[in-house]
Structure 1
Amino acid sequence: MAQIDTGTWVLVADSEKALFLENVADAENPHLVVTREEHQDNPSDREQSANRPGRMQDTGVGQRSALDDTDWHELAKERFASQLADILYKKAHRGEFEKIVIAASPQVLGALRDELHQEVTKRIVGEVDKTLTNHPLDKIEKIVKEDLEAA
């Protein structure tokens, strides 16, 4: 059973917002405070992409095929996970935290796992696969504590 000990960090993230939190109380009654916030402006794919998909010449005479447009919105989400992983690596390397819990949507959690450096992964004491970025801090404390106790 994982706990949020004093000094444990909690990263709460979705594809556009991340909260870096620290428990300043004990594991029994965690009290999380925001130490850093990251935001990404990520408009919908329709707002970021070209007017129509490109075309390419096919093998037959006069045949052309449509090409899928790049999903810029999805690409930005993946880049945001990479940026978060980079921030965590730098902070872990400087010894700013010893333990961390990552609370993120399943998609972001998966993207983060792919990007996290070993220096960070060895400090992970728990994961919560839920989107909590728009919850108040007291709800985040309760949900993370309950999920870690249930694991």
Structure 2
Amino acid sequence: MARLKNDTLIVVTDSEKALFLRNLTDHENPNFDVKDVDEEENPSDIEQSANRPGRMPDTGHGQRSALDDTDWHELQKERFAKDLAERLYKEAHAGKFERLVIVASPQVLGVLRDEMHKEVADRVVAEVPKTLTNHPVNEIEKLVKAELDAA
């Protein structure tokens, strides 16, 4: 069972926002301090698309098929997770944390795992597959402690 220790870094993220929290106490009475917030605007795909989807000639006479357009909104979500993985690598390399708890939606967690450098992965003590970025910090403390106790 993973336990929160003093100075553990807790990253609470979704695909548009990341909270960087530091535990100032122990597992029994966690006290998270907000160290940084990284937030990115990610408008809907319609707002980001410049054109309507393209069309190409089909096999039949006068027939044309629509092409799927790039989903810019989804692409930006993946980029955000990749950028977060890179930031965590730089901070781990600089010795800014020894223990890491990641709280993220399952989709973001999957991208982070794929992009995470070994130096970061070795410091992960727990993963919580939940989206908690819009919760107040005191609620995040309770929910993370409960998840770790149940694991």
Question: How high is the TM-score relative to the length of structure 1?
Answer: 0.96
SS of structure 1 residue aligned to 2:56: strand
SS of structure 2 residue aligned to 1:21: strand
Q: Distance in 2 between matches of 1:98 and 1:39?
A: 24
Residue 52 of structure 1 corresponds to 52
Provide structure 2 residue ranges, at least 5 long, that are not aligned to the other structure.
none
Residue 67 of structure 2 corresponds to residue 67 of structure 1 = yes
Identity %: 66
Q: Distance in 2 between matches of 1:27 and 1:148?
A: 9
Q: Distance in 2 between matches of 1:144 and 1:27?
A: 10
Measured against aligned partners, the alpha-carbon deviations of 1:28-51 in whole angstroms (never above 9, x if no partner) come to 111001111101100011111134
Q: Please say if residues 21 and 34 of structure 1, whose CA atoms lie closer than 8 Å, have aligned partners that are also in contact.
A: yes
Structure 2 counterpart of 1:70, one-letter code: T
Q: What does 1:120-139 correspond to in 2, within 5 Å?
A: 120-139=120-139
The offset of 1:143, in angstroms, is 0.3
Q: Distance in 1 between matches of 2:44 and 2:81?
A: 17
Provide structure 1 residue ranges, at least 5 long, that are not aligned to the other structure.
none
The offset of 1:61, in angstroms, is 4.2
The offset of 1:60, in angstroms, is 4.2
Residue 146 of structure 1 corresponds to 146
Structure 2 counterpart of 1:114, one-letter code: D
Residue 130 of structure 2 corresponds to residue 104 of structure 1 = no
Q: Distance in 2 between matches of 1:62 and 1:95?
A: 63
Residue 18 of structure 2 corresponds to 18
Q: Distance in 2 between matches of 1:83 and 1:51?
A: 27
Q: Please say if residues 9 and 99 of structure 1, whose CA atoms lie closer than 8 Å, have aligned partners that are also in contact.
A: yes
Q: Distance in 2 between matches of 1:95 and 1:58?
A: 57
Residue 84 of structure 1 corresponds to 84
Q: How many residues align?
A: 151
The offset of 1:65, in angstroms, is 1.4
Structure 2 counterpart of 1:90, one-letter code: K
Measured against aligned partners, the alpha-carbon deviations of 1:9-37 in whole angstroms (never above 9, x if no partner) come to 00000111000110011221110011111
Q: Distance in 1 between matches of 2:61 and 2:93?
A: 58
SS of structure 1 residue aligned to 2:92: helix
The offset of 1:107, in angstroms, is 1.1
SS of structure 2 residue aligned to 1:127: strand
The offset of 1:85, in angstroms, is 0.3
Q: Distance in 2 between matches of 1:146 and 1:127?
A: 13
